[in-house]
């Protein structure tokens, strides 16, 4: 009788933890292949795909590329929020992008910012410099969908 109760309680606890993890994201919640489409600076659609894998309590990842994958670095998970960086190199020019995402079920709302450009400044209607910085580096937002 006691043993049956223990099994039931254990199962309940397991499901409760799983439900909590799913609700809050957590390292396990982000594992899988994610894909989405972002609009680039020219207004053209650009597909982005990532794979995150859980290794212990750590989340590792990569961003798929046309030619080769790029490493995802600095992964941080806090509840439903995820942030990481991806560094690209094209013709010797190195660029780092910071991604921040909030998971909601099988989708993730993601924001991407180039780190080598000025972040947008608070709106200053009378300051031309402020407008120019804002135009040059607005965060780009898009949605990722879980593929697996």
Partner 1 sequence: MKIRHLLVSALLTSAPLSAYDAANARAFLAQHCESCHGAKIAYGSLNFNSLTPATLSTETERWTRISSRVRNSEMPPRTVPGPGVALSDRKAFLNWVDEGLHAEACAGGPVAGTSQIRRLNRDEYTATVRELLNIHLDVGHDLPADGAGGQGFDNAAEVLFLSPVLVEKYIDAAKESLEYAVKDSRARARIGIVEPGPGLLPAQAAHNILQGFLPRAFRRPVTEKETEPFMALFREAQKSHQTFDKSVVYMLRGVLLSPQFLFHAETPNPGTSPRLLDDYALASRLSYFLWGSMPDEMLFDLAEAGKLHEPEVLKEEVGLMLRSGKSMHFIESFVTQWLGTRELGRDFIPDPKIFPNYSADADLRGEIRFQPIVFFHSMVANNDPITDLVDSDWTILTRKLAGLYGIDRKNLRKDNQDQPHRVKLPPDSHRGGLLGMSAVLAVSSYPYRTSPVLRGKWVLDSILGTPPLPPPPNVPALEEHVGPAPKTMRERLAQHRKDPVCSSCHSSIDPIGFALENYDALGQWRNEDAGKPVDNSGELPDGTKFQGPEQLKAVLLQQKDLFVRNLTSRMLGYSLGRGLSPKDMCTVDSVIAQLRNNGYKSQVLIEAIVMSQPFQYQAGVPAGAPSSLSLKTKHTVTESR
CA pair distance 57, 45, nearest whole angstrom? 34
CA dihedral of residues 10, 12, 14, 15 (deg, nearest 10) = 170
CA pair distance 43, 29, nearest whole angstrom? 31
User: 54: how many CB neighbours lie within 10 A of its CB?
Assistant: 16
Pick out residues in 30-69 that bind partner 1 (CB under 8 A).
33, 35, 45, 47, 49, 51, 62, 64, 66-69
Residues 6+ apart with CB under 8 A from 75: 52, 58, 59, 60, 61, 82, 83, 84
Question: According to the binding rule CB under 8 A, does residue 131 interact with partner 1?
Answer: no
Beta pairing partners, 63:
50, 70
Question: According to the binding rule CB under 8 A, does residue 116 interact with partner 1?
Answer: no
Least Å distance, CB 89 to partner 1, is 11
Rank residues 35 and 83 by Cβ distance to partner 1 and give the closer one: 35
Least Å distance, CB 119 to partner 1, is 30
Least Å distance, CB 87 to partner 1, is 16
Question: According to the binding rule CB under 8 A, does residue 106 interact with partner 1?
Answer: no
Closest alpha carbon to 94 in 115, 65, 122 = 115
Rank residues 22 and 70 by Cβ distance to partner 1 and give the closer one: 70
Least Å distance, CB 38 to partner 1, is 12
Chain residues that interact with partner 1, rule: CB under 8 A: 33, 35, 45, 47, 49, 51, 62, 64, 66-69, 145, 147-148
């Amino acid at each position: 009788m006691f043993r049956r109760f223990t099994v039931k309680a254990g199962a309940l606890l397991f499901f409760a933890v799983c439900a909590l993890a799913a609700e809050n994201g957590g390292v396990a919640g982000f594992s899988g292949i994610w894909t989405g489409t972002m609009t680039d600076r020219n207004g053209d659609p650009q597909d982005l795909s990532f794979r995150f894998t859980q290794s212990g309590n750590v989340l590792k990842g990569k961003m798929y590329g046309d030619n080769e994958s790029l490493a995802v670095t600095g992964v941080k998970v806090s509840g439903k929020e995820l942030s990481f960086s991806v560094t690209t190199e094209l013709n010797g020019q190195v660029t780092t992008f910071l991604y921040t995402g909030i998971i909601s079920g099988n989708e993730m709302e993601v924001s991407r910012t180039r780190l080598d450009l000025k972040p947008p400044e608070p709106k200053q209607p009378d300051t031309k410099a402020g407008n120019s910085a804002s135009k040059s580096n607005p965060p780009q937002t898009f949605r990722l969908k879980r593929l697996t």
